[in-house]
């Protein structure tokens, strides 16, 4: 045993260290963890939010402030689920949270997850609440086609407060260089190819600017499918019929292949396509409203937008944001009250101005504060008008209950087709086969839910 000159032995030093470490560990446990259970009269609403740069719990601060002022016994706690890996990763986090027993009351579920949540009874219908609430503030102001997007088997599971669609973004400097005006709103697939070819410029053998850069996730391919007269990746009320063998489906994939290999108007990559418009590497690209935040930060204003080209059918693809109430909720009645507070026009305006989505309300979509986030406010009306016209149908991105499987199977076969390692027909036949196997393993009771 060693002793220092002050008489503390090594053994005593180690004991003291152990006691001190234990004390520090205990002190680090939050007091709330050791507190007694809260007063039964106090209610806590637990809300799941996808944390990202344009969507976070901070956005709810004004909503929470107003709500808790009206309901002083209610507090709102936000639980973050990571969506940096896309909506698929967000659903995984959400499902794990629910399975872990976290008493989540409500949270954002985008279109891709609605059927997944309904099939697994994770969310409850709003109809009993809507029947006893004055919903005129909502239905009088929301585009009718949009309001129906979270309705299955006659039951409403969510009330869209915002959405994103797909439009074509064009670089105005590139258009000017090649002497083209912005295309007409009802341009066809052929017109689109003409624009893409005109915007493609070469420097010797190298392409200095591509006419069109595109990405190929389900949200990126669906608008082509919809505007080519097909339901999407899956058909049927319960999205139980894979459509990859449909001639209209094959036609779209052949067109995408031809953009790259036959016409040479598109690069063989789908990473960060919105950056290609800004950098001038592409004359056109595709997106919803989400590039606007990045473009504002970069002070990039040389763009315009146009409706998606069509091939007979005019359809706008949407992905909606809604806040369903979870079946795990311990306070569904109060969760509904928070839903109403967050759903009003003032709140939605706050969300869309801070983020990159399109408001579901016409009044907000026509608000100058919203329109002036774009260099051409009149042009920006296209975002909302695309879902508010009688001559344009609105369809939600293909979102079967097995969206995660569709997403990964689609990515595999599409990448092989567009890498020119497999023919379009062969690739889609394999895609069809895999999706048929996925649907075949679906529980029979799911069919009644849609």
Partner 1 sequence: MNGFEQSKAINTTQSVGSSRSLLQWNQRRSDIAWAYLLILPTILGFLIFIAGPVIAGLGLAFFRYDIVSAPKFIGLANFERLAADPRAMVVLQNTVYYTFGMVIFDLVLAMALAVAINSKIPHMLKRFYQAIFFFPILVSGAAIAIVWQLLLASDIGIINYFLGQIGIEKIPWILASDWVKPSVIMVTVWNGVGFNMILILAGLQGIPNYLYEAADIDGANGFQKFSRITVPLLSPVIFFIIVKGIIGVLQLFEAPFVLTEGGPGDASRTVLMYLYESFRQLKIGYASSVGFVLFGIILVITIIQFVVSRYWVFYDND
In the bound complex, what is the minimum distance in angstroms from residue 83's beta carbon to partner 1? 13
| Of residues 120 and 350, the one with the C-beta less far from partner 1 | 120
| Of residues 210 and 323, the one with the C-beta less far from partner 1 | 210
In the bound complex, what is the minimum distance in angstroms from residue 97's beta carbon to partner 1? 10
The answer to whether 160 touches 360, Cβ cutoff 8 Å, is: yes
In the bound complex, what is the minimum distance in angstroms from residue 235's beta carbon to partner 1? 22
Name 333's Cβ contacts closer than 8 Å, sequence gap at least 6. 129
| Of residues 59 and 122, the one with the C-beta less far from partner 1 | 122
CA angle 439, 219, 254 (to 5 degrees): 85
Classified as helix, coil or strand, 77 is strand
Q: Pairing between strand 43-51 and 106-107?
A: parallel
In the bound complex, what is the minimum distance in angstroms from residue 18's beta carbon to partner 1? 5
**Is the C-alpha dihedral spanning 261, 262, 264, 266 positive or negative?**
negative
Q: Within 13 Å and on the Cβ side, how many CA atoms surround 144?
A: 4
What are the C-alpha distances in Å from 152 to residues 7, 115, 339?
78, 8, 20
Name 111's Cβ contacts closer than 8 Å, sequence gap at least 6. 149, 150, 318, 319, 320, 396, 397, 399
Distance between CA 263 and CA 60 in Å, rounded? 47
| Of residues 176 and 421, the one with the C-beta less far from partner 1 | 421
| Of residues 3 and 15, the one with the C-beta less far from partner 1 | 15
| Of residues 153 and 411, the one with the C-beta less far from partner 1 | 411
| Of residues 53 and 372, the one with the C-beta less far from partner 1 | 53
In the bound complex, what is the minimum distance in angstroms from residue 132's beta carbon to partner 1? 30
- For the chain, the C-alpha Rg in angstroms (whole number) is 26
| Of residues 3 and 412, the one with the C-beta less far from partner 1 | 412
In the bound complex, what is the minimum distance in angstroms from residue 204's beta carbon to partner 1? 9
In the bound complex, what is the minimum distance in angstroms from residue 238's beta carbon to partner 1? 18
Q: Pairing between strand 43-51 and 74-82?
A: parallel
In the bound complex, what is the minimum distance in angstroms from residue 95's beta carbon to partner 1? 5
Distance between CA 158 and CA 335 in Å, rounded? 13
In the bound complex, what is the minimum distance in angstroms from residue 140's beta carbon to partner 1? 37
The answer to whether 108 touches 79, Cβ cutoff 8 Å, is: no
| Of residues 8 and 419, the one with the C-beta less far from partner 1 | 419
In the bound complex, what is the minimum distance in angstroms from residue 257's beta carbon to partner 1? 13
Distance between CA 323 and CA 94 in Å, rounded? 13
Closest CA to 181 of 309, 316, 315, 306: 306
Q: Which residues bind partner 1 (CB under 8 A)?
A: 11, 14-15, 18, 25, 88-89, 92, 95-96, 98-99, 120, 122, 205-207, 210, 267-269, 271-272, 276, 281, 402, 404-405, 408, 411-413, 415-416, 418-419, 421-422
In the bound complex, what is the minimum distance in angstroms from residue 210's beta carbon to partner 1? 7
In the bound complex, what is the minimum distance in angstroms from residue 93's beta carbon to partner 1? 11
| Of residues 58 and 412, the one with the C-beta less far from partner 1 | 412
Four-CA torsion 218, 370, 60, 162, nearest 10 degrees: -30
Q: Pairing between strand 206-212 and 282-287?
A: parallel
| Of residues 61 and 121, the one with the C-beta less far from partner 1 | 121
> Three-state secondary structure along 276-332?
HHHHCCEEEEEECCCHHHHHHHCCCCCEEEECCCECCCCEEEEEEEECCEECCCCCH
| Of residues 11 and 58, the one with the C-beta less far from partner 1 | 11
What are the C-alpha distances in Å from 359 to residues 222, 336, 354?
21, 20, 12
Four-CA torsion 154, 155, 160, 161, nearest 10 degrees: 130
Classified as helix, coil or strand, 397 is coil
């Amino acid at each position: 045993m060693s002793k220092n000159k002050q008489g503390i032995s090594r053994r005593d030093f180690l004991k003291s260290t152990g006691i001190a470490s234990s004390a520090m560990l205990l002190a680090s446990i939050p007091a709330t963890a050791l507190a007694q259970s809260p007063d039964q009269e106090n209610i806590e609403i637990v809300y799941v939010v996808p944390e990202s740069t344009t969507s976070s719990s901070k956005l709810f601060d004004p909503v929470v402030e107003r709500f808790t002022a009206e309901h002083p016994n209610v507090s709102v706690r936000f639980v973050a689920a990571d969506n940096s890996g896309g909506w698929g990763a967000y659903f995984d986090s959400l499902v794990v949270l629910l399975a872990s027993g976290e008493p989540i009351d409500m949270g954002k579920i985008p279109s891709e997850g609605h059927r997944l949540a309904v099939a697994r009874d994770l969310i409850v219908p709003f109809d009993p609440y809507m029947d006893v609430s004055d919903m005129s503030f909502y239905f009088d102001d929301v585009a009718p086609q949009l309001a129906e997007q979270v309705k299955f088997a006659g039951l409403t599971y969510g009330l869209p407060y915002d959405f994103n669609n797909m439009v074509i973004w064009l670089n105005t400097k590139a258009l000017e260089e090649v002497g083209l005006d912005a295309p007409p709103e009802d341009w066809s697939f052929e017109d689109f190819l003409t624009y893409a070819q005109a915007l493609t410029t070469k420097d010797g053998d190298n392409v200095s600017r591509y006419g069109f850069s595109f990405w190929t996730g389900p949200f990126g391919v669906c608008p082509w499918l919809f505007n080519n007269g097909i339901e999407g990746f899956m058909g049927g009320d319960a999205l139980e019929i894979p459509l990859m063998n449909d001639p209209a489906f094959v036609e779209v994939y052949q067109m995408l292949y031809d953009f790259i290999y036959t016409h040479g108007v598109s690069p063989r990559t789908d990473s960060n396509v919105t950056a290609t418009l800004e950098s001038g590497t592409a004359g056109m690209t595709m997106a919803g409203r989400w590039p606007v935040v990045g473009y504002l930060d970069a002070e990039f204003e040389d763009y315009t937008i146009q409706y998606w080209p069509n091939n007979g059918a005019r359809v706008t693809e949407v992905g909606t944001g809604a806040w369903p109430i979870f079946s795990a909720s311990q306070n569904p009645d109060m969760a509904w009250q928070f839903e109403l507070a967050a759903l009003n026009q003032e709140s939605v305006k706050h969300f869309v101005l801070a983020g990159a989505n399109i408001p579901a309300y016409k009044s907000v979509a026509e608000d100058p504060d919203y329109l002036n986030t774009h260099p051409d406010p009149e042009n920006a009306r296209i975002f909302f008008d695309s879902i508010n016209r009688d001559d344009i149908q609105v369809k939600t991105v293909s979102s079967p209950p097995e969206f995660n499987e569709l997403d990964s199977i689609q990515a595999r076969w599409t990448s092989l087709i567009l890498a020119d390692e497999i023919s379009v027909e062969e690739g889609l036949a394999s895609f069809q086969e895999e999706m048929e196997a996925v649907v075949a393993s679906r529980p029979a009771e799911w069919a009644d839910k849609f």
